[in-house]
Structure formats: C-alpha cells, structure tokens
Chain A
Amino acid sequence: AQSVTQLGSHVSVSEGALVLLRCNYSSSVPPYLFWYVQYPNQGLQLLLKYTTGATLVKGINGFEAEFKKSETSFHLTKPSAHMSDAAEYFCAGGPNNAGNMLTFGGGTRLMVKP
C-alpha cells in the first residue's frame, strides 16, 4: 500500500524567505509524485509532477521539487516566498503503472508574513 506524508500541517515564512514544504512517500516502488496548490474554496491546481527522468522538477510560480529515492522524499521549495503563495499545498502520489489513482498527503498550510 502506498502512503504520502506531509510533515508540518502549518508552515509560516516571511515574504522573501525560502519556502520548504516536506513530503515523504511510502511505497514498494517509486510512485509518480505531484504537488498541488489549493486556494480557499477552490479546487486543486497542479504545481508540478515527477514521473520519470530528471529528479529535479520545476513547476509553475517558481516552485520546484526534487525526487530523492534514497530519502523517499519529494520536498517542495521556492527560493523567495511571495504573499500570493499563501495557500494549502498537497503532495500526492500515484502508482507508476499508468494507473490513475492518487493518494494525498494531509496538506500543509503555508502562511506568508509581510
């Protein structure tokens, strides 16, 4: 069975500071991994994904994530936080057998202080 864990339900950073949101997965084989962002009362928007190939993945809005098999991690980073980055972030994993199911982490609320 696959699980996705996000460490820290709330993360607070100052505007301009580094953003680091942690995600670890547990599965017998490396899954496909995704980061989504959710603004209040809205659906989820895909930030970036890892399937195969390059382990450092760049997404929208300046975010990137690195797949580290040895650490079973897929942490999300952004060099400089912006006020508009304040939102809920979800890490999700799906089996790499071209299946469609996704398992979501518990989510991390990012707060950005001026």
Chain B
Amino acid sequence: GAVVSQHPSRVICKSGTSVKIECRSLDFQATTMFWYRQFPKQSLMLMATSNEGSKATYEQGVEKDKFLINHASLTLSTLTVTSAHPEDSSFYICSVSTGRNEQFFGPGTRLTVL
C-alpha cells in the first residue's frame, strides 16, 4: 500500500483568509491523488483529481478558483481554500491512487472557518 500524511490535521481560520492543506505520499510515487470533502455524518464527496505536472480535474459544482490544487511533485499535492467562509468548514481527505485499483487515504484535515 501507500502511506499518506496530511498537514495540518486541524486548522481554524477567520473568514476571508486562505488555508493550504498538504497531502504527502510518503512511500509511493503518486501520479494521481484525489481530494475529498466530508460533511458531518455524510459520505465522502470527490472534489477533484490531482495529476502530477498537470491541471487538476474538478468535479461538477466544485469551484476551481476557490479550491486551488497543485501537484508539483510525485509526493506532494496541496489544496488551498481561498477566501474561506464558514460554509467551507468540513473534513478534507486526500488519497493516493496506486494504479492498482486502490486508493490509500490520508488522516484528513478538519477545517473550521469562523
């Protein structure tokens, strides 16, 4: 499998600020990573597919200008929530695709926007 880390695990910010979340693949060269958000007591919703060296592919309804994704290396993808608002408060989870029909998930980042 793949070991995936996320940083930070929790973040609280004021409305209007930007927050960057890092997703690292510690032991696998990840050409593809995924970003999900999960609201309380709900399932995971795919936000975007992050491909190393190219633009991310966003799911319908996800604002690409608000959720900036950068996948500059095979071990790091970042999600930046720009001008965050309280409705962006959620649990953000990334995953690494190993290309063998499996995804390995990070521990998640709890974002709270005041």
Contact = CB atoms under 8 A, between A and B. Distances in A.
Q: Is the interface of B mostly helix, strand, loop or mixed?
A: strand
Contact of A107 (B42, B49, B101, B110): B42
Interface residues of B, number: 25
A43 B43 contact: no
Given A90-B43, A105-B43, A43 B93 contact: yes
A94 B44 contact: no
What band does the interface of chain A fall in when counting residues whose beta carbon is under 8 Å from B?
Answer: 20 to 34
A105 B44 CA distance: 8
A98 interface: yes
A45 B101 contact: no
12 contacts: A41-B91, A45-B105, A46-B102, A46-B104, A51-B101, A90-B44, A94-B101, A96-B101, A100-B32, A102-B103, A104-B43, A106-B43
